[in-house]
Amino acid sequence: MGPDDDRLPIVDSRTDVIDSTCSLLRNRDRRYALYYLLAQERVPIEELTDVVTGWTRATDFGLADRQLREQVRLELYHQHIPAMQRAGLVRYDPDSGVVAVAECPELVRSFIRLARRMETTDAGRSDSEPYRDAGPGSTPANGS
């Protein structure tokens, strides 16, 4: 063993991207929003709210109440979308209310797809199952 064998890996921009992505994916609502955005590319914030609410807050009866939906919308608007914007993952147009995936590195997209695959497979879903509107929990907030 030489003196260089104990060196730590060099921290570079990829390491920063990995750290930032892992930090963002720690939050369930943000993670689910990213899953949906990656599949749809651009959606109105109201649609994103419905999807995240349905996946995370719906009851066994398939509905989330208005108060929970509003809580999710406020958290998306004030916390999660700004955090994803700062990380360069999404763009938000307040005039149109549309959230869109930004031109982010393929490494980041791969991390998000891997996290979704792990979560949906653990939930009894197949990796080969088509992914559009279905996701974790796969119950829309409006019960449809």
Is 75 within a domain? yes
- CB within 8 Å of 104: residues ≥ 6 apart: 88, 89
Indicate yes or no: pTM above 0.85: no
Domain that holds residue 44: 12-119
Is 2 within a domain? no
Is 142 within a domain? no
pLDDT tens for 66-117 read 888 999 999 999 999 999 999 889 999 999 999 999 988 888 888 899 999 9
Instruction: Give me the DSSP letters along 98-142.
Output: EEEE----HHHHHHHHHHHHHHHHHTT--TTS--SS--TT---TT
Is 134 within a domain? no
Domain CATH number, residue 74:
1.10.10.10
Is 99 within a domain? yes
Is 5 within a domain? no
Q: How high does pLDDT run on average in the chain?
A: 79
Residue 120's nearest CA partner among 51, 35, 47 is 35
Least confident residue range of 24-28, 56-60, 70-74? 56-60
Confidence of residue 65 (pLDDT cuts 50, 70, 90): confident
Is 92 within a domain? yes
Is 79 within a domain? yes
Total count of domains within the chain = 1
